[in-house]
């Protein structure tokens, strides 16, 4: 796979899965805009890591929940590198609790980042991608959005929303040679899953046929395929990268 001179935005690119995606795309030749909301130091570390391996990258602060910030993020990519080829909507948060204990604030926070953020960034990216008649969009959903997960009604709902969003937008922009796909990770070892009880982690691995937790690099490798020319005839797909944890249709 060769992404030489492709321009990519990775939202939530300062850590975990986003960091791994940014590094992978850069290793294949893409110039990467590493988006972050608050952790400038971590985002800059990703940029320096990309530069150390001979790549090009910049860090851009933007809160994807805000439509104006999303527009500015896309405009910065264009003004810096001249175009935008790839958008990876990775930014996401958890606010886990049983539904009877879940606050409206925790519901709204997860919806705003995980679903509205993807809407804002995708809408902002549409105009340049449609004009150039080329684009690759990958949305990071979750197996929780496919099968549901107790204690994650907000997260599961937002991630399920991304599945429908992905398929609808894929149909809208396919005639403009833009592909829109989603990846549904299973249990992945990141700082976002570090808080989970050890017994839950052990159970997740036990339920995974491949017998291990996934790594951020497992997700990054799948993203790399979906944004490559090799996946030029793949759109509207939700690719599970879960070690077989959720086997559905």
Closest CA to 227 of 19, 29, 17: 29
Q: How far apart are the C-alpha atoms of 191 and 14, rounded to whole Å?
A: 12
Residue at token pair 């396919």: 174
Tell me if 89 sits within 8 A of 35, measured CB to CB: no
Using left for φ > 0, alpha for ψ between -120 and 50, and beta otherwise, residue 214 falls in beta
Tell me if 222 sits within 8 A of 17, measured CB to CB: no
- The reply to whether 81 belongs to the active site is no
* Beta sheet of 7-10, edge-to-edge order: 57-61, 31-36, 7-10, 86-89, 135-140, 178-185, 238-241
Q: Which of 36, 81, 155, 187 is catalytic?
A: 155
Tell me if 94 sits within 8 A of 192, measured CB to CB: yes
Cβ within 8 Å of residue 127, ≥6 positions away: none
> What residues are labeled active site?
155
């Amino acid at each position: 796979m060769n992404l030489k001179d492709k321009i990519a935005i990775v939202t939530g690119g300062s850590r975990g899965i986003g960091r791994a995606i940014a590094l992978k795309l850069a290793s294949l030749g893409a110039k990467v805009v590493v988006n972050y909301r608050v952790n400038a130091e971590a985002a800059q570390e990703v940029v320096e890591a990309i530069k150390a391996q001979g790549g090009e990258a910049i860090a851009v602060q933007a809160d994807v929940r805000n439509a104006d910030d999303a527009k500015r993020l896309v405009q910065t990519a264009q003004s810096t590198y001249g175009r935008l080829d790839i958008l990876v909507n990775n930014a996401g948060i958890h606010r886990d609790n049983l539904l009877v204990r879940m606050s409206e604030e925790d519901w709204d926070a997860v919806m705003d980042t995980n679903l509205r953020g993807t809407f804002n960034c995708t809408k902002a990216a549409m105009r340049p991608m449609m004009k150039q008649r080329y684009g690759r969009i990958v949305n990071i959903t979750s197996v929780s959005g496919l099968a549901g997960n107790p204690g994650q009604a907000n997260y599961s709902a937002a991630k399920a929303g991304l599945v429908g969003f992905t398929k609808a937008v894929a149909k809208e922009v396919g005639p403009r040679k833009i592909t829109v796909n989603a990846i549904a990770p299973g249990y992945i070892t990141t700082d976002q899953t570090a808080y989970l009880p050890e017994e839950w982690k052990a159970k997740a691995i036990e339920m995974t046929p491949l017998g291990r937790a996934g790594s951020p690099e497992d997700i990054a490798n799948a993203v790399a395929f979906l944004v490559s020319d090799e996946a030029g005839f793949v759109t509207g797909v939700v690719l599970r990268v879960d070690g077989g944890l959720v086997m559905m249709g």
